[in-house]
Amino acid sequence: MSREDEPAVLTQQRELSRLGNDAEAIKEAAKQSVNTYRTQCQTYAIKEKKYEKQQSRIVNTRTAILSPLDKAIHDRVAHITSPKILYDTIVSIVRMSASQAQQMGYTLFSSAQFSSATGVSSYINKIKNIQQRITAAGGDLNDTQLIVKLLEHLPGEYRDFIRTWEQCASIPNIPRDINTLQAQLLGEEARLALEKSRKPTKAETNDKNNDKDKRKNSKERLQTLRQRRSRTH
């Protein structure tokens, strides 16, 4: 018997059964859709929270990098958002600035001159400050270089001191650092100043006059001897 010949009641029952199955399928599909949506929302919320944390870390990192910077460098890099690029850029700028600072320091060191008006202490402090400046920029300027520089530019009145200092180089256990030299030079400077300010005694004046007379007589005798020799020839 074909479906066309089935009683209407059977046809209606079959249709209701099909509709019932479809309703269950729709209900299950809707349930799965809701679960999928919930999962997607949870995943999005997790990702959003991770993103917010990441952005917060980026902001905090940039702040930590930028806050201690000099204003001139800060203004040059403040527009950079990536912490890594920001850091690399700052390192590049600092290295370039350090190189320039070293070069400037070496130039100042080579041109530094001793001035009798300001004295030994001022000159040594000046070259020590230059040394610190070069060292802070990553350069190298040791005590030996400072000592050589200092002794080269001392005025002639220190020649006896310089000779004594150089002679002591071969004696062991005698400090040869810049601080020791500074202390000894200050003592020599005070001694020379006292010597200049002290009025010569009568005996010292007579000795100087006698020395002048002796040099004068010696020159006169030498001149007379030369004249006699020229006449003989």
- The 10s digit of each residue's pLDDT in 80-104 is 877 778 777 777 777 777 788 888 8
pLDDT digits (tens, 9 = 90+) for 27-40: 666 667 666 767 76
Helix then strand count (H, E) for the chain reads: 8, 0
Lowest mean pLDDT segment, chosen from 42-46, 103-107, 118-122: 42-46
Candidates 117, 110, 113, 141; CA nearest to 128 is 141
Alpha carbons 168 and 147: distance in angstroms, whole number: 14
How many other C-beta atoms are found inside a 10 Å radius of the C-beta of residue 102? 19
Question: Do the beta carbons of residue 93 and residue 76 sit within 8 Å?
Answer: yes
Residue 216 pLDDT > 70, yes or no? no
Question: Do the beta carbons of residue 124 and residue 150 sit within 8 Å?
Answer: yes
Of all residues in the chain, what percent carry a pLDDT higher than 70? 64
Alpha carbons 233 and 231: distance in angstroms, whole number: 5
pLDDT given at position 1: 46
Task: Average the pLDDT over 222-226 and give the result.
Answer: 60
pLDDT given at position 96: 72
Of residues 193 and 44, more confidence is placed in: 193
